[in-house]
């Protein structure tokens, strides 16, 4: 008996010899049935259940994992060490001073993060416990979603969402097809058609489906949504019939069944192995640039602290080298102290000095920052401008850790469908032989009917033209793949109801097709249905015309056209073809090409989606030849796509041009204005979409991402097939670098047309090739750097046909580039979750595609237009506020602790505190913390209307400009200067002088209290000088803090407290205030401390004012009304050439983008808004009437 070792040999080749091109596969047993005897061996593989997990913590790992993440922060780890040191050795201050603030921060942060994760657990539980119908033993049973396993046969009804990845076995439709929307996967809300396996499509009951005996062999899970390779082996009479499976048979988790009553399908990938789950990024802790700056500053201050402690330790032992100073008669050492080794004593002293100077590291800053972020986030949620009446919802903040990052964004990555657009196509017009037809026109406020509109737009064509016009309308009614739905509701929304009766309406895989068919309906030709191979249309005379559908030549992105072959009732056979002008016009042999082409170009410039329509009459002989070509290609097993493509090329030729159509993909309200503002603010906007290239490009033009003068560079599969990737990349690189420097968007005004900028279009397949790591045998190296260089020099980038994980890879690539820019991702569907999690800031839009994006985002807004205010106003304010908070905290702690350092030189380095313990503890907690907290919540250095109207002000705070090292050094030097003035000013003013009326001298506690009093008033007044926006809360907190300090000092030193063992501050504060020279010194020292900063600000504002300072000055001049009538362009810095302002009168040949000498302003003194111009601004002040200068065409650049 021979033994077949072929299977064993194959395994050895795969696992030991490293057989190439082998993809690991899995075998799925439908209904968990074993294959019949004689088939492959039954090996039951283990697969994960259908549980989906988006949470970060579990009950068991929360404490260790959260503690690890928190102590990764430099400050938290440092304070933990200091706390432990205070517990171990005898230090000048109590361990409570370090321990309490640290544990407060840790506990508050842990509670906040635990609550956020609990919400994610709750959402996961709702998804995992959703009921699903499963077929077992010929019966339908309900299972919770997470209990589904690979091999289960699932029953899904219309409008239900697929719980896992499935292979379609059969459907309620006779042809075994079903319609699905994949909005939550790739952003396309159109209906897509999927096909059942041919041999199983007839099984439509539970018993029949349960009788299927088959196995599926397919690849292991991988994240590409558009790729699937597998086969199904169906056993009939113990004979296996193999059928291929492709992406058209796979129903992905998250997609929804539409326009199909029910389906039966088998689970192949479950839980975290589904394609949707594989496209999720793991949720990681995001850290803002400000927090990174804080950590850097902390390291510097830690070095200062260590050097201070080291200097004091060394000087102490130099001081104690003299025996009289080392051990005076009044402070002799114990025997145990004498026996200790000098190194141990020195190390203990070093730690004691570290604890004494520890207050230079502001632990309370982290508490204040956490509170500022948490409370500040409510201003976004309370903003009425970001509330949407239609949704009944406002903005949502899911994490408050990134508020200030909203003011630092350099790259915006946005989804297209549902984010930029409403995904609502509208038929605008059509052109037949040069005659333009508009379905509805508005004249003098009256909506005219279609016929009246046509007469108004153009003269009616002659008899021959009338015939061609009707042929055009019929072509559009027939050349499509639209389905007709007769029911009253779709997606739960009532449609087509007129006078209580339900009417039919259209659904399709392409929203353009629906818009075209609906447009024809308005123009008098209504598509009714496809029934038994007959397409029915209703003409203008209310007669039903029937056409037999013979062939459909499907649309594909390479041909960029589709065709149908139909037979009219008269027996004539026509091929109707519609597609992009670039693919139709070269195949046209007659027709009014020039007129139609001109109209197409006009509509394309307007951002409309255009299609050309043509036809070809076919003789019976030609039709038979076409059928022979097409059937031969369809039956081919090898290179089927290639042979079909060749057949289509032969059929779609010798066309006669009929006309063209224009459809608008309606943008969201103010989407174009928002993108324009983001560009002016210095941000680069990239559109990342799963949609087709043509669709996405049209949207980019409509939203002003691409402009009329934008030169489009294509890096697509089609071009890479013609040239190799290496050549294409280097060609594009040479093109953009040739104009680099002189032709960038920054140098071009938003209105200038004589300036070339570049827009790049790339698709998913080409991106994969670019991102692929370089191979050793190639000399080309990595293409990623070349691609990045091209992108940097393009004003806008469009990435189409993107898988969700590719979106995240693009964001990650930009994040990792050498500039390390701050990125923001915004989207509305589950397909955007990966990039939302990857970007520094993720924003979800509350759209129609579920709430996955909102749930996984950092912030959620109702509409794309709200992004403008979120970044330009809230982001700007948050960054200004927190940068002042951080710098101010370090400054006030330098002022606080540097006198303590200087004091050691006058107390024999004995670690004697300069300030009382109560002052040490309460300085950062009570006396100086509330004013800066309120400042960081309320400050508005510029009116918010101005920030919205002049987006370029956003550049003032870009690239972390207020937390750069020069600014940090200035604040630190200012703090050191203030500390020296306070300490030595007090020291020299009181040297050898009696101050009280009874001749008593001030002691060391009075000296320290005087320094501390000057300190508290100085740092508070410094904040007063920096505050631009005053409210009653600011006044209450600032003056209230100073009053509280005085009252506390009076009570602390004026009462004998029974719980204190000693009371060294008794009567000290009252004694100090009873001295006239003490009052004088307090006033003099506060003035001397603040004077240099005031002088510096005055000189800088006078000689080198920033744009922000110019606007602040102008706003004060016009008493806060600047935003209503002042031209912002006039406040910008003069141009470098000759120091003239932009658009000055002596500038020769001003460009269209330059401002005129007359500025356009928006005035509010009339009942209705009126746009006027004024020559000089002072004429308005003098009361001269402006009306004689009324000006019609205004320039947006100077318009307020």
CA distance 736 to 739: 6
1004 close to 1064: Cβ distance less than 8 angstroms: no
Contact 649/633 with Cβ under 8 angstroms? no
For residues 364 and 925, the answer to whether their CB atoms sit within 8 Å is yes
Q: Which two tokens stand for residue 449?
A: 């009917």
User: Number of helices (H) and strands (E), helices first, in the chain?
Assistant: 41, 42
Instruction: Return the ∠ at Cα 1127 (arms to 1126 and 1132), rounded to 5°.
Output: 120
Spell out the SS3 assignment of 62-82.
HHHHHHHHHCCCHHHHHHHHH
CA–CA distance, 590 with 587 (Å, rounded to integer): 9
Q: Give the three-state DSSP class for 26.
A: strand
State the DSSP H helix or E strand holding residue 530, giving kind and residue range, or none if neither. strand 526-531
In this structure, is the dihedral angle defined by the CA atoms of residues 14, 18, 22 and 24, taken in order, positive or negative? positive
Active-site pick, 117, 401, 415, 1115: 415
Distance between CA 166 and CA 161 in Å, rounded? 12
Beta bridge partners of 655: 588
Q: What does the alpha-carbon distance between residue 1117 and residue 1109 come to, in Å, rounded to a whole number?
A: 12
CB atoms within 10 A of CB 1200: 20
CA–CA separation, 718 vs 693, rounded Å?
11
The residue assigned the tokens 């990938």 is 269
The CA distance from 804 to 809, in Å, is: 9
Burial of 1182 (0-12, 13-18, 19+ CB in 10 A): exposed
In angstroms, the CA 132 to CA 139 distance is: 13
Helices (H), 524-607: 581-584, 593-605
CA atoms within 13 A of residue 257's CA, in its CB half-sphere: 27
Q: At what angle do helices 74-88 and 342-356 cross, to 10 degrees?
A: 130
Distance (Å, rounded) from C-alpha 232 to C-alpha 196? 11
Q: C-alpha angle with apex 325: 324 to 329, nearest 5 degrees?
A: 60
- Picking from 822, 762, 731, the residue whose alpha carbon sits closest to that of residue 290 is 822
Residue 224 catalytic?
A: no
Q: Phi/psi zone of residue 496: left (φ > 0), alpha (ψ -120 to 50 degrees), beta?
A: left
Backbone phi and psi for residue 114, each to the nearest 5 degrees, phi listed first: -65, -40
Q: Which region holds residue 137: left if phi is over 0, alpha if psi is between -120 and 50, else beta? A: left
Q: Write the secondary structure of 634-658 as one string of H (helix), E (strand) and C (coil).
A: HHCCCCHHHHHHHHHHHHCCCEEEE
Catalytic residues: 415
């Amino acid at each position: 008996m021979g033994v077949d070792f072929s299977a064993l040999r194959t395994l050895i080749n795969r696992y030991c010899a490293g057989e190439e091109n082998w993809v690991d596969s899995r075998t799925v047993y439908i209904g968990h049935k074993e294959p019949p005897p004689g088939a492959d061996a039954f090996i039951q593989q283990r697969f994960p259940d259908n549980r989906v997990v988006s949470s970060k913590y579990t009950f068991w790992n929360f404490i260790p994992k959260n503690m690890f993440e928190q102590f990764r922060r430099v400050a938290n780890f440092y304070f933990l060490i200091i706390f432990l040191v205070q517990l171990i050795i005898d230090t000048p201050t109590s361990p409570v001073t370090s321990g309490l603030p640290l544990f407060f921060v840790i506990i508050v942060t842990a509670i906040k993060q635990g609550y956020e994760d609990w919400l994610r657990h709750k959402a996961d539980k709702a998804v995992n416990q959703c009921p699903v119908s499963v077929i077992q033993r010929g019966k339908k049973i309900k299972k919770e979603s997470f209990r589904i396993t690979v091999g289960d046969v699932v029953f899904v009804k219309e409008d239900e969402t697929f719980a896992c990845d499935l292979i379609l076995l059969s459907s309620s439709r006779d042809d075994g097809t079903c319609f699905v929307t994949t909005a939550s996967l790739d952003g396309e809300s159109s209906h897509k058609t999927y096909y059942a396996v041919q041999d199983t499509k007839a099984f439509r009951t539970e018993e029949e489906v349960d009788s299927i005996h088959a196995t599926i062999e397919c690849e292991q899970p991988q994240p590409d949504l558009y790729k699937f390779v597998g086969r199904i082996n169906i056993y009939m009479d113990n004979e296996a019939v193999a059928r291929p499976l492709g992406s058209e048979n796979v129903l992905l988790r998250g997609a929804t069944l539409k326009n199909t009553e029910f389906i039966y399908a088998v689970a192949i990938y479950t839980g975290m192995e589904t394609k949707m789950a594989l496209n999720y990024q793991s949720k990681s802790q995001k850290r803002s640039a400000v927090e990174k700056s804080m950590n850097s500053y902390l390291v510097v201050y830690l070095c200062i602290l260590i050097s201070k402690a080291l200097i004091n330790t060394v000087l102490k032992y130099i001081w104690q080298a003299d025996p009289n100073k080392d051990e005076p008669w009044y402070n002799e050492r114990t025997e145990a102290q004498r026996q200790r080794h000098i190194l141990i004593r020195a190390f203990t002293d070093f730690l004691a000095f570290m604890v004494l100077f520890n207050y230079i590291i502001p632990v309370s800053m982290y508490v204040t920052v956490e509170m500022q972020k948490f409370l500040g986030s409510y201003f976004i949620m309370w903003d009425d401008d970001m509330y949407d009446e239609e949704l009944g919802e406002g903005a949502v903040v899911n994490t408050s850790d990134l508020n200030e990052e909203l003011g630092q964004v350099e790259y915006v990555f946005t989804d297209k469908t549902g984010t930029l657009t409403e995904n609502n196509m509208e038929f605008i017009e059509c052109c037949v032989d040069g005659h333009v037809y508009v379905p509805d026109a508005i004249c003098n406020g009256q909506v005219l009917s279609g016929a009246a509109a046509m007469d108004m737009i153009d003269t009616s064509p002659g008899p021959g033209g009338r015939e061609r016009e009707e042929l055009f309308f019929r072509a559009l009614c027939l050349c499509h793949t639209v389905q007709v739905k007769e029911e009253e509701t779709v997606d739960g929304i009532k449609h087509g109801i007129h006078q209580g009766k339900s009417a039919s309406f259209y659904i399709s895989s392409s929203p353009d097709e629906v818009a075209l068919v609906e447009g024809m309906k308005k123009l008098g030709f209504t598509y009714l249905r496809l029934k038994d191979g007959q397409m029915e249309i209703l003409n203008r005379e209310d007669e039903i015309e029937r056409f037999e559908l013979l062939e459909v030549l499907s649309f594909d992105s390479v041909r960029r056209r589709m065709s149908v072959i139909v037979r009219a009732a008269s027996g004539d056979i026509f091929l109707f073809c519609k597609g992009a002008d670039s693919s139709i016009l070269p195949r046209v042999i007659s027709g009014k090409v020039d007129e139609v082409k001109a109209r197409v170009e006009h509509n394309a410039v307007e951002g409309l989606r255009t299609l050309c329509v043509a036809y070809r009459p076919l003789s019976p002989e030609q039709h038979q030849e076409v059928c022979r070509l097409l059937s031969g290609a369809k039956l081919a097993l090898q290179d089927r796509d290639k042979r079909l493509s060749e057949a289509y090329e032969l059929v779609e030729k010798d066309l006669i041009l009929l006309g063209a159509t224009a459809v608008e993909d309606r943008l969201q309200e103010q989407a174009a204005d928002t993108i324009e503002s983001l560009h002016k603010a210095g941000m680069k906007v990239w559109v990342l979409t799963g949609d087709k290239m043509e669709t996405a490009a049209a949207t980019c033009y409509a939203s002003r991402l691409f402009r009329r003068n934008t030169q489009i560079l294509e890096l697509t599969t089609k071009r890479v097939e013609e040239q190799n990737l290496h050549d294409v990349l280097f060609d594009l690189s040479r093109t953009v670098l040739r104009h680099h420097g002189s032709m960038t968007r920054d140098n071009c005004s938003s209105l200038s047309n004589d300036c070339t900028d570049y827009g790049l279009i790339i698709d998913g397949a080409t991106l994969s090739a670019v991102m692929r790591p370089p191979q050793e045998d190639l000399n080309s190296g990595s293409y990623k750097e070349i691609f990045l260089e091209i992108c940097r020099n393009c004003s806008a980038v469009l990435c189409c046909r993107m898988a969700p994980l590719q979106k995240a890879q693009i964001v990650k690539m930009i994040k990792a580039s050498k500039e390390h820019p701050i990125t923001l991702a915004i989207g509305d569907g589950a397909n955007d979750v990966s990039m939302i999690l990857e970007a520094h800031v993720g924003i979800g839009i509350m759209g129609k595609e579920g709430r996955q994006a909102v749930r996984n985002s950092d912030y959620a807004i109702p509409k794309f237009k709200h992004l403008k205010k979120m970044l330009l106003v809230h982001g700007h304010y948050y960054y200004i506020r927190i940068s002042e908070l951080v710098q101010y905290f370090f400054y006030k702690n330098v002022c606080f602790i540097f006198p303590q350092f200087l004091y050691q030189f006058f107390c024999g380095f004995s670690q004697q505190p300069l300030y009382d313990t109560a002052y040490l503890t309460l300085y950062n907690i009570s006396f100086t913390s509330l004013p800066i907290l309120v400042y960081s919540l309320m400050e508005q250095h510029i009116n918010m209307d101005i920030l919205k109207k002049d987006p370029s002000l956003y550049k003032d705070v870009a690239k972390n400009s207020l937390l750069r090292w020069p600014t940090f050094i200035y604040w630190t030097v200012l703090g050191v200067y203030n500390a020296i003035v306070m300490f030595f000013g007090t020291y020299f003013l009181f040297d050898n002088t009696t101050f009280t009326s009874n001749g008593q001298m001030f002691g060391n506690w009075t000296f320290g209290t005087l320094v501390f009093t000057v300190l508290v008033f100085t740092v508070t007044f410094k904040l007063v000088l920096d505050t631009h926006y005053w409210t009653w809360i600011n006044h209450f907190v600032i003056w209230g803090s100073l009053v509280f300090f005085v009252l506390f000092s009076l009570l602390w030193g004026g009462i004998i407290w029974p719980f204190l063992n000693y009371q060294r501050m008794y009567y000290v504060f009252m004694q100090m205030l009873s001295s006239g020279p003490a009052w004088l010194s307090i006033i003099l020292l506060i003035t001397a401390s603040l004077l240099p900063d005031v002088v510096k600000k005055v000189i800088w504002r006078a000689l080198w004012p920033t744009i922000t300072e110019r606007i602040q000055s102008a706003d004060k001049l016009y008493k806060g009304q600047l935003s209503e009538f002042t031209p912002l362009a006039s406040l910008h810095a003069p141009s470098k050439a000759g120091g003239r302002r932009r658009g000055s009168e002596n500038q020769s040949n001003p460009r269209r983008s330059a401002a005129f000498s007359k500025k356009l302003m928006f005035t509010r003194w009339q009942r209705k808004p009126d746009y006027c111009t004024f020559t000089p601004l002072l004429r308005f002040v003098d009361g001269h009437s402006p009306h004689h200068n009324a000006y019609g065409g205004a320039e947006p650049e100077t318009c307020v």
